[in-house]
Amino acid sequence: MMQPIYSIVVPVYNEELVIGECYSRLTGVMRDVGEPYELIFVNDGSRDNSLPMLIALCEKDPCVRAIDFSRNFGHQPAITAGMDYARGQAVVIIDADLQDPPRVIPLMIEKWRQGYEVVYGRRLKRQGETAFKKLTAKLFYRALRGLTDMDIPVDAGDFRLIDRKVCDALKTLGEKNRYVRGLVSWVGFKQTYVEYVRDERFAGETKYPLMKMLKFAMDGVTALTYRPLKFVAGAGALVSAASMIYFILFLCRGLCNFLVTKSAPSFSMLVGPNISMALLFFIQGVVLMSMGLMGEYIGRIYDEVKNRPNYIVSGVFGADGGDSRGRGQENIDCL
């Protein structure tokens, strides 16, 4: 089989309603490109009929390969596996839900042909998403950019094309809690973007509810910067300074009152119980927040020192070597 020039990596998790249309659109776009390609679907422990559908595509089309995980490891490990198995000179990462339209891929290829080594998709609009999600995503990307020293593009997800040298560089990074789009910015190289309107999900449900989005955001922050720890330290110093100033003012007011009235005032006369309770809860909140943030970083250190793999492959299907059960494929060029 001819060596592919393009590898299209597609993470899949319970996408039986989308796989057929995703395959059809990607195949149509890549055939129009007119150069050898491969579609790599990474089954991230799907519990529906996604895997049988992917195996059927592998048997029908020699351009399709499927990587099956032993369980659900997550979106970022699935992307990592796809890049590990990709053989093309350019690797495109795109989700199966078709919110990122395959028709944008030729525009990315054109930029790549011009010499750019990373071409990411920048979203002009996000159709079919709630105002809350749009607002929080906008704030997160800008906050993350402000927290790091890297030029992380805003309004851009994992939908992008990367050159083979970028893919090889990413393979050398062994983080366990991966934030791929941030790592792509970290490795550098010549980068640009193409703009597009993000479509609504073709079918099925989102795989990133609120709690997963919060975890993903935390992974992004802790993977790229430790500035939040500095902010917490600064907040602790600020609270300590404010408490000291308040204590000095408390003593000064008590002393002045004693000089005038010759009697020591009660504490309740100087500060009400509500104010003292609010101050106490504020200080406790800062302490607990600090402990929680440090716990996040310590937990990630724990994950790193265990040195477990990012994913475990249960089977590989399609292309050249057949699948894990020994079925071969015809030697047909994917053009």
**Residue 55: exposure state from Cβ atoms within 10 A (0-12, 13-18, ≥19):** buried
Per the CB < 8 A criterion, the answer to whether 265 and 254 are in contact is yes
13: left (phi over 0), alpha (psi -120 to 50) or beta: beta
pLDDT exceeds cutoff 50 at 329: no
Per the CB < 8 A criterion, the answer to whether 79 and 93 are in contact is yes
Residue 127: pLDDT band by 50, 70, 90 thresholds? low
Residue 93: pLDDT band by 50, 70, 90 thresholds? very high
Beta bridge partners of 41: 10, 66
- Each residue's pLDDT tens digit, 294-323: 766 776 776 677 777 888 888 888 865 444
pTM: 0.67
Q: Which residue has the tokens 């009929």?
A: 49
Question: DSSP for 43-81?
Answer: E-S-SSSHHHHHHHHHHH-TTEEEEEESS---HHHHHHH
Which residues lie below 8 Å from residue 184, measured CB to CB, with a gap of 6+? Answer: 118, 120, 160, 162, 166, 170
Average pLDDT, the chain: 75
Residue type, 319: A
Q: Which residue has the higher pLDDT, 75 or 219?
A: 75
pLDDT exceeds cutoff 90 at 137: no
Beta bridge partners of 125: 197
- Each residue's pLDDT tens digit, 245-256: 766 666 676 667
- Each residue's pLDDT tens digit, 23-56: 999 999 989 888 899 999 999 888 889 899 999 9
pLDDT exceeds cutoff 70 at 120: yes
For residue 76, which of 226, 206, 201, 219 has the smallest C-alpha distance?
219
> Among the ranges 179-188, 215-224, 294-303, which has the highest mean pLDDT value?
179-188
pLDDT exceeds cutoff 50 at 327: no
